[in-house]
Homo-oligomer: A and B are copies of this chain.
Amino acid sequence: MFGLSKDKEFYELFERAANNTCLGAKALDDLLQNYPKDAEQKTKKMKDIEHEGDQITHKTVEMVNKTFVTPLEREDIYELITKLDDVLDLMDAAVSRLSLYKIPYATEHSKSFAKILVRATETLLKGITSMRKIKDQKEIFDCCIAVNTMENEGDVLLHKSMVDLFEGKKDDPIYVIKWKEIYEDLERATDRCEDVANIVEGIVLKNA
């Protein structure tokens, strides 16, 4: 009985983390599509979400360390919550750079990255919510495959972004350096989404 209630707490923390990461992607998207409208206030919102992510992660790690029998392997719980938080951290890093580097307008490519990240984090939330009832294997695997596809979209988009940057801004290396960083953060956020999907897939296979 005690064990079961602990299990529930872990799954709730996963869902809270996935939901919060999804909120982060939406905050990023909202900022970029309307940039620089209300940029300061929206950057602060992103920071709050990132802070909430840290707290969920910290609470989960604390619970792993204190709980004798965990519903899943400790390592899997740790990896899942950490990588979910990495997605958020990277989106927050991209947002911070916009103000830090005094970026005057958002590029189309950055808006496309935000769209991919909204879809990927929504799909992860769906998959992670299904984890409690591991019988829905098919649905979870479909989510994982979809996120893998989105990560590939992220790769292609980064390539396109870099080509345009090097071709179009030959004479402004500082501009190139700044946007290269931002694009790489966003692309790495899609990489971490794929990592989360792979961890979820592994958990389901092991517990099938």
Contact = CB atoms under 8 A, between A and B. Distances in A.
Interface of A: 61-62, 65-66, 75, 96, 100-102, 159, 162-163, 166, 170, 173-174, 176-178, 180, 198, 202, 205-206
Contacts of A176: 174, 177
A97 to B, nearest CB: 8
Contacts of A177: 173, 176-177, 180
Given A65-B206, A173-B173, A202-B65, A166 B180 contact: no
26 contacts: A61-B198, A61-B202, A62-B205, A65-B202, A65-B205, A65-B206, A66-B205, A75-B75, A96-B159, A100-B159, A100-B162, A100-B163, A101-B162, A101-B163, A101-B166, A102-B166, A166-B174, A166-B178, A170-B174, A173-B173, A173-B174, A173-B177, A174-B176, A176-B177, A177-B177, A177-B180
A208 to B, nearest CB: 9
Contacts of A66: 205
A70 to B, nearest CB: 12
A176 B178 CA distance: 11
Given A75-B75, A101-B163, A177-B177, 10 more contacts: A61-B202, A65-B202, A65-B205, A65-B206, A96-B159, A166-B174, A166-B178, A173-B173, A176-B177, A177-B180
A3 to B, nearest CB: 19
A182 B34 CA distance: 34
Contacts of A174: 166, 170, 173, 176
A166 B163 CA distance: 22
A80 B178 CA distance: 34
Contacts of A180: 177
Nearest to A159: B100
A180 to B, nearest CB: 7
A198 to B, nearest CB: 8
